[in-house]
Structure 1
Amino acid sequence: MKWKLSKHIWVFLVLVFTNFTFYVNGTTIGGTVNFGSSDHNYVSFSAIYSICNKNPPDALWFSAYGSSSERDQFNVDVDVEAVWGFHAQLVRIDINQGWGQKHVVVNWNARFDTIEDPCTPGGSCQNYGYGQRCNCFSGYEGPTCTNIDDCKPGPCQNSGTCTDLLNDYSCRCVAGFTGKTCSININECVPQPCQNSGTCTDLINDYRCTCEAGYTGKSCHIDIDECAPLPCKNNATCTDLINDYSCTCKPGFTDKNCNTDIDECGPQPCQNNATCTDLINDYKCTCEPGYTGKNCSINIDECAPQPCENNATCIDLINDYKCICQAGYTDKNCSTDIDECGPQPCQNSVTCTDLINDYRCTCEPGYTGKNCSINIDECAPNPRENNATCTDLINDYNCTCKPGFTDKNCSTGKKEFENSCCTIK
């Protein structure tokens, strides 16, 4: 049967002993303990050692095994805490209930192991009486000079992360803060990131620029292109300015956006009552009859085509002309020969022949003159003889002979009447 050892180990510090044993690293001691009617017994030993020489026992390893007349042997290990300095170990071994009144023999062994100087690295070891003590360096405290946790008060502000150092601490600041304790907000406006007269507002690990009109972007470095919305109309050219734009209008347009068609008819360019029609960068004049030209300022010369004929003189009028005809011609263009025979100027005529500004009458026999109005005086050549009387007829004459004479001209008759006078009627 396996023996159950109590987990309670009493360690007594003995202040005064007359005989001590010095144990070095790896030393093993042992012995035998007899159990009679009692269910527990003790193993005791004492040691003194110099911990500052760096060869103190670190732990006491205790092992025991027992046997009885009724049971097989058993083994058990017991971990015994070390006590620094002048010390004694007293180990109580308990056996399980039910083994009382039985004879049990327990053999035990103990081994001492050493470690490094307990004050290292935070202090220096000093032998003190039958023991030792640690003189701690700055930043260390406690019996074995453990490092003081300088992050314990939480010195790092603004969510900074604290790292404990030797008698110091280090804060790893979140973005936007600096300083020993991360208490300083980094002023991101200090380098003046805002361009073009923008106003900078410091934020946490950032900044905000309030831009002047016409600029945008994180640092107000972008000139807003006011031409981007295509404000200029009618194919005008847009020039971007600061918070503005300028439109260079195509001819014929005006206003800020070149949206207004210039009224070229405004100055009344059309003359002579012409009608003006506004065009793009132009105008059109609808002229009154008789005028031409861009502005209807030119009187059309209706005489230019030489409408007047027969050497007539042309006088230009408004949308008209006047022909001053040569004598003998008439109508608008003097193209009509005036028929001077029209009024029947010829009297006692066989025919009238029209001439240029004249006429010619072909007279009946016995008539003469321009108009054949003159009866030819056939008596004028004095055809009568012998003092006969001549009477003019149409294309003829009649002689009234004196007694004694006869024939057409009264030329035949008595001689005595030859020299007689004849009166012409």
Structure 2
Amino acid sequence: MTESGNPSQPVNVNEYDASHIQVLEGLEAVRRRPGMYLGSTGERGLHQMVYQVVTYAIDEHLAGHADAIDVTITADGGIRVADNGRGLPVQAHDPTGKSAVERQLTELSFVPKPRTGYWVSGGINGLGLCGVNALSSRLTVEVHRDGHRWTQEYEKGIPISALTRHEESSGHGTAIVFLPDADIFETTLWSFATLSQRLQELTFLNGGLAISLTDERPERPVRHHHLDGLRAYVAHLNPYPPPSLVHSPAIGFTSENEEQTISVQVAMQWNTWSPGEFLSFANSTRTHEGGAHEVGFRTALTSVVNDYARRRQQISADDQDLTAEDIQEGLTAVVSVKLAHPVFEGSTRTRLGNPDADTYVQEVVRQHLADWLDHHPNEAAAIIRHIVNASTGRGKW
């Protein structure tokens, strides 16, 4: 084979050998290729830094050890994320003598041992705390645990001080303060509205968790706390007057399998005002491209509604089945799954590929939605009438 630019000139294979291969290790790889870890070095990637730190705090909530997260946009343009969880471990357990705090902040491959930390972890498990550290011009971690306050400081992912024990403390939790590196990001200007919207979404997806957001640029505090979880989310997405709601409140149910490897939350409500909206999440990450959990929900929904409508003789034996399109007309629904081992696929890794998610979501929806319809006959009749009307409007009846 010859070079395409000069057919008569043979290729010198010795010009390309092992010395031309550059291997980037650890945090150096993150700093050299930040887009591979964040997806962007623009505004979207900048805000992803906050979500990565918040995800760690949410993991503490999922493990049953935290119920509050405070996020602050500091006056100098940094971010502070503090939680009331157990606090990052400060002990050193490996031959290097590094504390678990330092390993968590400097090693891409460092993760807690199975079943000792979290049975499920929020997000896609991409960047993590160490990646945020690598892409920050400076970062300070403060831990309250084991009866003391501990701190350590970093610059561009490199520790500039040892983990230091300070005064006694009866508190518990972790606070991370970081300043994004202006040499990495196209912008370091935070959007209060963008952060507030995502943090509110996370409280909907993790019922009982309170997240506050404070802006010191000027001060503009906001606190999100939704005990009703996804039903509150659907109410937020359906801000229509009562006459436009086919039923109220929203339908909601939650289930977890015996092995505690997958849990499902569903909330749904029909209205006559909008064409409907469907949102799905896996480990609190929006799955824009759908996936197995969406397939399971839509399959079970179509089956349950048709079965109920026929049993109640709202459609006859001679009528065609109500289609998925008919049933989803005016339906606002949110489906959230949490899995111990999520498999993300698609061009942006936002499609869930776990077959067990399809199976389990179908099982949960068939059981709980059928039960709700049977126990709410008036609301159920109104829902079926709405769906039949939608079908009639398409000229099918």
What is the TM-score with the length of structure 1 in the denominator? 0.14
Bigger relative contact order (CA 8 A; separation at least 6): 2
- Structure whose alpha-carbon radius of gyration is higher: 1
> Which has more helix, going by share of residues?
2
> Which has more strand, going by share of residues?
1
